[in-house]
A and B are shown apart, each in its own frame.
Chain A
Amino acid sequence: MLDDQKTCAETDRFLTYTLQVNTPPYTAAADRAFCFAEALLRRGHRLRRVFFYRDGVYHALAGAEPPADEPDRIGRWSVLAERHGVDLVVCSAAAQRRGVWRARGARGLAPGFRVAGLALLAESVLDSDRWLSFG
């Protein structure tokens, strides 16, 4: 069954990951993506880029503030990006369509996020050892 797994410490294999998040911040799938991101970093792997696609682009909505008694599901990505040098990218077309970002005009994104096209996701997938999609 699954008894052939070894930890990376045993196998000394450290991999580079790209994650794709397709659902908004307050969803189970987005939570799983974040927990997975933290776990892979704890295991010593590298998280190269997180690509927010479809409704996942709402992660980059500047000024979104959860009530004080709730975890900050947007800010935590920004903190992760700063601490571990993770590139947080939102799909430009998906963000524009939802009013999260405007090509013309001053509509900023949450700290640590930037916009790019699907070509960057493709490049990222090719350059990473592993690609996982959430939601």
Chain B
Amino acid sequence: MGVLHLLSQPPGPVWESLCPRLGDGDRVLLLGDGVYGLRHPLLGRLQDTGAGIAALAPDLVARGVEPPGAEAVRVIDYEEFVDLTVACMRILSW
């Protein structure tokens, strides 16, 4: 059972620190200002780690960030966020 990382920081140093720690089985949920990363080159680095990536829909809407068209990032609501925490025993906030 992997770790769920809650990434609420905009792309920058925190993203850089997180990438090397991720592996298959881990998940990353972009929320808050973290959703700005959907339009940033660092998203590619995050995807290259093999971790599953999701983004919180209300935070995309609130910030005017277009949902990604690709299958690579799943846009989820709060109830699906809860389901993610069921699937992952350990949850870390960044």
Q: A residues engaging B (CB < 8 A)?
A: 1-2, 4-8, 11, 13, 15, 17, 28-29, 32, 35-36, 38-40, 42-43, 45, 129-135
Q: Is A133 in contact with B93, judged by CB distance below 8 angstroms?
A: yes
Chain A residue contacts of B86, Cβ below 8 A: 8, 11, 13, 15, 45, 130
Chain B residue contacts of A129, Cβ below 8 A: 89
Report whether over half of chain A's contact residues are helix, strand or loop; otherwise say mixed. mixed
The distance in angstroms between the C-alpha atoms of A7 and B81, with both chains bound, is 11
* A15 to B, closest residue via Cβ: B86
Chain B residue contacts of A4, Cβ below 8 A: 87
The distance in angstroms between the C-alpha atoms of A122 and B81, with both chains bound, is 24
Given contacts A5-B84, A28-B8, A36-B82, 12 further A-B contacts (CB under 8 A): A1-B53, A1-B71, A5-B83, A5-B87, A6-B83, A28-B33, A39-B82, A130-B85, A130-B91, A131-B91, A132-B6, A132-B91
How many contacting A-B pairs (Cβ < 8 A)? 69
Chain B residue contacts of A132, Cβ below 8 A: 6, 85, 91, 93
Number of interface residues of B (CB under 8 A): 30
CB proximity to A under 8 Å, residues B39-80: 52-54, 56, 58-59, 71-72, 74, 76-80
Q: Is A43 in contact with B32, judged by CB distance below 8 angstroms?
A: no
Distance to closest chain B CB from A18 (angstroms): 11
* A45 to B, closest residue via Cβ: B82
Contact of A130 among B72, B78, B89 (CB under 8 A): B89
Distance to closest chain B CB from A54 (angstroms): 13
Given known A-B contacts A6-B83, A8-B86, A1 and B72 have beta carbons under 8 A apart: yes
Q: Is B74 in contact with A1, judged by CB distance below 8 angstroms?
A: yes
Judge if B31 is at the interface, Cβ distance under 8 Å.
Answer: yes
The distance in angstroms between the C-alpha atoms of A28 and B36, with both chains bound, is 15
* B47 to A, closest residue via Cβ: A1
Q: Is B81 in contact with A39, judged by CB distance below 8 angstroms?
A: yes
Distance to closest chain A CB from B6 (angstroms): 7
The distance in angstroms between the C-alpha atoms of A131 and B32, with both chains bound, is 19
Chain A residue contacts of B54, Cβ below 8 A: 2
